[in-house]
């Protein structure tokens, strides 16, 4: 139920049926015409810009056109109590009492699915995919929560969603990680000093992994790295992934599928992907120019396989092979995405870190080529998280071993605060996470403010000895809403639009922002009761107004749906 869509359809249908009366030569498919929530200073429920849009393309005075459309609406639609023309020709419409109550009943009768934008598409969302060389750090948390909540949002609308983790368990970083574990094992077992070298991992967690490997391989002497490599790699990756999965679980995140890069290589998926692209003439042997900024004399012009990614919007064609003829990292990634395409997903979403922005065009081009433009890849970049405590920044460095881990963060603040606050800004801008603010019990702590509003509602219903889930029976004729309640109800009606926009644009941050605004309206109304007895919700143990009771139930419905999508709890008391 989306009243903005419903009334847009009613108004545009009315205009279409009366095009001659309105002297409109062009309707342009009603493109650009919207029904929105009017600015707060207007005491209206809806605002329509039809007069401005159609007036411009038909070269008609928009105010004159607005008056004629107003006349049509009054004579043909019985949904509105009052219609005002504002500014250059906006139609501000106030719902009649009967229409307002009718729309409220729709929400109450469909509380479990209110806001749902039905869809039945299949999505693969790949997120986190941190190198399995240690536990998650705070930078990973933002992308992890973004991906998880986006999956919840798409599932809420009826889509089929696979949450996937790509394990980068192949390449030099894994060799360096295994080498680090080997040296720690030598340190533990033979008292050999661990000497920090470039690209090694010195973190304390590496010592813990080393101890576990020693305990489970008591007969192994670990005298030679090359001889022990397979064993150390296998067990190091296992223990590292267990750390990552444990961190994710503590954040309320569980993936449906884990895809190994090593298995991709061993199963020769790169060869299959290259052959597929060759078949369609998207890969050929050739030479690449030196990268921008590269000194020509240092550049080796070597014949290699090249993916013609410029055919699909990339800035340059991309090498599939290194100088030694081995596959590039990009070639492995192409093979992985071929596998996803072959699994018949309609939409692929990759949640990337801030350092992967330059990779988007080439992998998007690869998916277009692999699927013959049938599968859409969306890459969403989560920018950096800046941590602050006591007014000072915290810094992270995974290789240095002093990074701020997800567990460090969880030791400071609870999961609910992390999930909510990691989404309080758009993913494409940097996020400041202030430990002090998220621990405050005040309006500045947004998750607390939303949770506290629901706890207040639960307390009110406990006083009334009522259940929030009970069906409301009320007399429409006796039902009235004051201005505070009308403001809240208008906000409630926006919920389906929030869900639709957040889903269509992959912007789940719109949900916590909206919930905070709704909580602010509720707390402001609640506080008025402390200032003026007339605004008290309860008198002598009974609700003073059925309109108040209905408004509060509407708030609880949206908050429960919204916080469920966010994966954040709603305590009954605080």
CATH number at residue 519: 1.10.730.10
pLDDT band at 296 (very low <50, low <70, confident <90, very high): low
- Judgement on whether residues 450 and 561 belong to the same structural domain of the protein: yes
Q: Answer yes or no: is pLDDT of 568 > 90.
A: yes
- Kindly state whether residue 178 falls inside one of the protein's structural domains: yes
According to the model, what pLDDT value does residue 544 have?
83
Q: Answer yes or no: is pLDDT of 399 > 60.
A: no
According to the model, what pLDDT value does residue 295 have?
55
- Judgement on whether residues 458 and 543 belong to the same structural domain of the protein: yes
- Kindly state whether residue 437 falls inside one of the protein's structural domains: no
Q: Say if CB 71 and CB 58 are below 8 A apart.
A: no
What one-character DSSP code corresponds to residue 321? Answer: B
- Judgement on whether residues 559 and 450 belong to the same structural domain of the protein: yes
CB atoms within 10 A of CB 156: 20
Residue 128 sits at φ, ψ, to 5 deg, of: 75, -80
* Mean pLDDT, residues 302-331: 92
According to the model, what pLDDT value does residue 528 have?
84
Q: Rounded to whole angstroms, how far apart are CA atoms 60 and 145?
A: 50
According to the model, what pLDDT value does residue 294 have?
53
- Kindly state whether residue 269 falls inside one of the protein's structural domains: no
* Mean pLDDT, residues 368-373: 96
- Kindly state whether residue 212 falls inside one of the protein's structural domains: yes
Q: Which of 197, 226, 250 corresponds to the end of one domain?
A: 250
- Judgement on whether residues 464 and 559 belong to the same structural domain of the protein: yes
- Kindly state whether residue 220 falls inside one of the protein's structural domains: yes
Domain count, the chain: 3
Q: Which of 216, 250, 284 corresponds to the end of one domain?
A: 250
Q: Say if CB 474 and CB 490 are below 8 A apart.
A: no
CB atoms within 10 A of CB 280: 11
Summarize pLDDT for 214-237 with one digit per residue, the tens.
Answer: 999 998 999 999 999 999 999 999
Rg (CA), the chain: 29
pLDDT band at 521 (very low <50, low <70, confident <90, very high): very high
Q: Where are the beta strands (DSSP E) in 463-516?
A: none
- Judgement on whether residues 453 and 558 belong to the same structural domain of the protein: yes
Q: Answer yes or no: is pLDDT of 398 > 50.
A: no
- Residue 199, CB half-sphere, CA atoms under 13 Å: how many? 9
**Cα dist from 2 to 500, 517, 557, whole Å:** 10, 19, 15
- Residue 221, CB half-sphere, CA atoms under 13 Å: how many? 3
Q: Which of 403-412, 467-476, 516-525 has the highest mean pLDDT?
A: 516-525
- Kindly state whether residue 279 falls inside one of the protein's structural domains: no
pTM for the full predicted model:
0.91
336's CB contacts (< 8 A; 6+ apart) are 166, 259, 261, 264, 269
Q: Which of 95, 123, 141 corresponds to the end of one domain?
A: 95
According to the model, what pLDDT value does residue 298 have?
62
Q: Rounded to whole angstroms, how far apart are CA atoms 212 and 232?
A: 11
Residue 174 sits at φ, ψ, to 5 deg, of: -75, -35
Q: Where are the beta strands (DSSP E) in 190-275?
A: 257-260
According to the model, what pLDDT value does residue 297 have?
59
Summarize pLDDT for 169-212 with one digit per residue, the tens.
Answer: 998 999 999 999 999 999 999 999 988 888 898 888 999 999 99
According to the model, what pLDDT value does residue 251 have?
96
Q: Rounded to whole angstroms, how far apart are CA atoms 132 and 243?
A: 9
According to the model, what pLDDT value does residue 4 have?
95
- Judgement on whether residues 85 and 192 belong to the same structural domain of the protein: no
According to the model, what pLDDT value does residue 331 have?
95
Q: Which domain holds residue 555?
A: 446-566
Mean pLDDT of the chain: 91
Q: Answer yes or no: is pLDDT of 387 > 50.
A: yes
According to the model, what pLDDT value does residue 40 have?
81
Q: Say if CB 416 and CB 447 are below 8 A apart.
A: yes
Q: Answer yes or no: is pLDDT of 258 > 90.
A: yes
* Mean pLDDT, residues 95-119: 93
Summarize pLDDT for 260-281 with one digit per residue, the tens.
Answer: 999 999 999 999 999 999 999 9
Q: Answer yes or no: is pLDDT of 404 > 70.
A: yes
Q: Rounded to whole angstroms, how far apart are CA atoms 362 and 375?
A: 15
Q: Answer yes or no: is pLDDT of 396 > 60.
A: no
- Kindly state whether residue 63 falls inside one of the protein's structural domains: yes
Summarize pLDDT for 454-495 with one digit per residue, the tens.
Answer: 999 999 999 988 888 888 888 878 889 999 999 999 999 999
According to the model, what pLDDT value does residue 508 have?
97
In DSSP terms, 319 is beta-bridged to: 306
Q: Rounded to whole angstroms, how far apart are CA atoms 192 and 492?
A: 65
- Kindly state whether residue 547 falls inside one of the protein's structural domains: yes
Q: Rounded to whole angstroms, how far apart are CA atoms 181 and 176?
A: 9
Q: Answer yes or no: is pLDDT of 92 > 90.
A: yes
pLDDT band at 293 (very low <50, low <70, confident <90, very high): low
Summarize pLDDT for 26-57 with one digit per residue, the tens.
Answer: 999 999 999 999 988 888 999 999 999 999 99
Q: Give the residue among 328, 281, 329, 323 at the shortest CA–CA distance from 303.
A: 323
Distance between first and last Cα of the chain: 32
Q: Answer yes or no: is pLDDT of 343 > 60.
A: yes
According to the model, what pLDDT value does residue 42 have?
86
Percentage of residues of the chain with pLDDT beyond 70: 97
């Amino acid at each position: 139920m989306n009243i903005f869509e419903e009334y847009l359809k009613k108004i545009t249908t009315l205009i279409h049926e009366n095009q001659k009366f309105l002297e409109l030569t062009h309707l342009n498919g009603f493109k650009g015409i919207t029904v929105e929530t009017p600015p707060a200073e207007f005491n209206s429920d809806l605002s329509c810009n039809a007069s401005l849009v159609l007036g411009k393309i038909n070269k008609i005075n928009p105010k004159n056109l607005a008056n004629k459309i107003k006349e049509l609406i009054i004579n043909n639609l019985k949904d509105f109590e009052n219609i005002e023309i504002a500014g250059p020709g906006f139609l501000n419409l106030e719902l009649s009492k009967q229409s307002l109550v009718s729309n409220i009943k729709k929400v109450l009768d469909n509380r479990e699915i209110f806001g749902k934008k039905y869809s039945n598409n299949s999505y693969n969302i790949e997120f986190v995919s941190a190198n399995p060389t240690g536990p998650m750090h705070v930078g990973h948390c933002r992308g992890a929560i973004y991906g998880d909540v986006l999956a919840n949002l798409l599932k809420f609308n009826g889509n089929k969603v696979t949450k996937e983790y790509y394990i980068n368990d192949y390449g030099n970083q894994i060799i360096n990680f295994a080498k680090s574990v080997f040296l720690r094992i030598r340190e533990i077992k033979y008292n050999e000093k661990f000497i920090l070298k470039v690209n090694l991992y010195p973190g304390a967690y590496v010592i813990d992994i080393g101890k576990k490997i020693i305990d489970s391989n008591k007969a192994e002497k670990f005298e030679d790295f090359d001889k022990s490599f397979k064993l150390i790699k296998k067990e190091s990756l296992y223990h590292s992934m267990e750390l990552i999965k444990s961190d994710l679980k503590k954040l309320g995140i569980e993936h449906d599928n884990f895809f190994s890069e090593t298995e991709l290589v061993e199963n020769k998926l790169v060869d299959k992907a290259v052959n597929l692209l060759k078949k369609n003439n998207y890969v050929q042997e050739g030479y690449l120019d030196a990268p921008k900024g590269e000194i020509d004399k240092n550049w080796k012009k070597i014949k290699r396989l090249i993916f013609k990614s410029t055919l699909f919007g990339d800035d340059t064609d991309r090498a599939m092979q290194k100088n030694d003829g081995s596959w590039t990292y990009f070639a492995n990634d192409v093979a992985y995405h071929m596998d996803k395409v072959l699994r018949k997903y309609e939409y692929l979403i990759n949640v990337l870190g801030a350092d992967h922005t330059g990779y988007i065009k080439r992998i998007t081009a690869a998916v277009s080529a692999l699927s013959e433009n049938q599968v859409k890849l969306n890459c969403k970049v989560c920018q950096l998280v800046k941590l602050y405590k006591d007014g000072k920044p915290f810094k992270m460095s995974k290789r240095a071993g002093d990074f701020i881990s997800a567990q460090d963060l969880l030791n400071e603040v609870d999961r609910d605060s992390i999930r909510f606050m990691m989404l309080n800004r758009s993913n494409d801008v940097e996020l400041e996470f202030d430990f002090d603010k998220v621990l405050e019990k005040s309006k500045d702590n947004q998750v607390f403010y939303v949770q506290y509003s629901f706890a207040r509602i639960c307390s009110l219903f406990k006083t009334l000895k009522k259940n929030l889930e009970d069906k409301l029976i009320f007399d429409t004729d006796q039902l009235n809403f004051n201005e505070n309640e009308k403001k809240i109800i208008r906000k409630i009606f926006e919920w389906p639009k929030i869900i639709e926009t957040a889903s269509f644009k992959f912007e789940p941050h719109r949900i916590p922002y909206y919930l905070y605004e709704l909580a602010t309206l509720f707390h402001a109304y609640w506080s008025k009761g402390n200032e003026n007895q007339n605004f008290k919700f309860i008198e002598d143990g009974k609700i003073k107004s059925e309109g108040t009771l209905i408004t509060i139930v509407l708030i609880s419905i949206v908050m429960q749906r919204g916080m469920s999508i966010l994966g954040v709890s709603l305590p009954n008391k605080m």
